[in-house]
Amino acid sequence: MAESCLVDGRPSDHVAADDRGLAYGDGVFRTLRLARGRPVAWAAQYARLAHDCRALYLPTPAADVVARDLTRLGGMLGPAIAKIMVTRGSSGRGYTPALQANARRIVTVTSADPSTLPDSLELERSPVAFGDQPLLAGVKHLNRLEQVLARRDCAERHSADALMCDSSGRMISTTMRNLVFADAAGHWWTPKLTRAGVAGATRQRLMAARAELGRPITVSDIELSALPEFTAVVACNSVGDAISVSRIAEQCFVASSGLARQANALLRDSE
């Protein structure tokens, strides 16, 4: 078997049937790009992985151990996408986890084709809303059924992506990307993720880069009714960096391509 998946550092394409990640979604994950066999923006990616492990009381695998897995799998590939999963490992029946988790580390790598990424997005509002759960807000845990259903709806409508709101109608993200808005004065804004959503590493990198410039991104609840206040929007994640959004619902944004160029320049500088 060609190595494309490592489970606790060993080549494998399966996990035990009693793994809690399979049974309960009891774990976290990160998705990131590899360039020349090495993870892009690894410090930021690992920081988010460690944050999310702590949120679920999971042991965080050592950074050098995970990086070694990534390099081992991606070293013979060109552009590639890696996924890192940390589950609570195997246990008996029942929700109650062991107080001392025997975590399981799963790393997969697949070849990537950058040409498949869209140049721009037009977003309709998804009929699927994020439920509010402040304890897990921002955490990229393995229970992502809201986004699974939203992606299924996108596939039925032949749409590349969609806007997702929380149960109160506040904008949160797309189905797989964080959002950054800009107004006519050049101020950048991003939705607050204290009730729902995933705080991606790329969003964090943009926030850190803007803060270093003395022009921090404002984190705020953003209602759909506020869309006319903005002139540009980008959607970002660790696979495609920042992609311009030309329209959300009926609101068009004429300056999004320029915002995407600015955001991607900041991301390149922070690698």
Examine the fold and report which residue of 81, 112, 143 is the final residue of a domain before the chain moves on. 112
Domain that holds residue 234: 120-269
pLDDT of res. 100: 83
- Residues 127, 256: one domain? yes
Examine the fold and report which residue of 46, 81, 112 is the final residue of a domain before the chain moves on. 112
DSSP-derived letter for residue 232 is E
- Residues 106, 133: one domain? no
- Residues 125, 238: one domain? yes
- Residues 176, 244: one domain? yes
pLDDT tens digits, residue range 83-142? Answer: 999 999 998 788 998 888 889 999 999 988 777 888 999 999 999 999 999 999 999 999
pLDDT of res. 37: 85
State the Cα–Cα distance between residues 114 and 241, nearest whole angstrom: 11
Residue 165 maps to which CATH number?
3.20.10.10
State the Cα–Cα distance between residues 37 and 70, nearest whole angstrom: 7
Q: What percent of the chain lies above the pLDDT cut of 70? A: 99
- Residues 127, 189: one domain? yes
Mean pLDDT confidence for 148-170: 97
Q: Determine phi and psi for 171, rounding to 5 degrees.
A: -70, 135
| Total domain count, the chain | 2
User: Residue 52 belongs to what H/E stretch?
Assistant: helix 42-55
pLDDT of res. 194: 96
- Residues 204, 255: one domain? yes
Examine the fold and report which residue of 71, 95, 112 is the final residue of a domain before the chain moves on. 112
Contacts of 147 (CB under 8 A, 6+ apart): 128, 164, 175, 176
Q: How far is CA 23 from the centre of its chain?
A: 22
Mean pLDDT confidence for 20-46: 94
Q: What percent of the chain lies above the pLDDT cut of 90? A: 86
pLDDT of res. 74: 87
- Residues 126, 225: one domain? yes
Binning pLDDT at 50, 70 and 90, where does residue 3 land?
A: low
> Quick check: 76 pLDDT over 80?
no
pLDDT of res. 1: 36
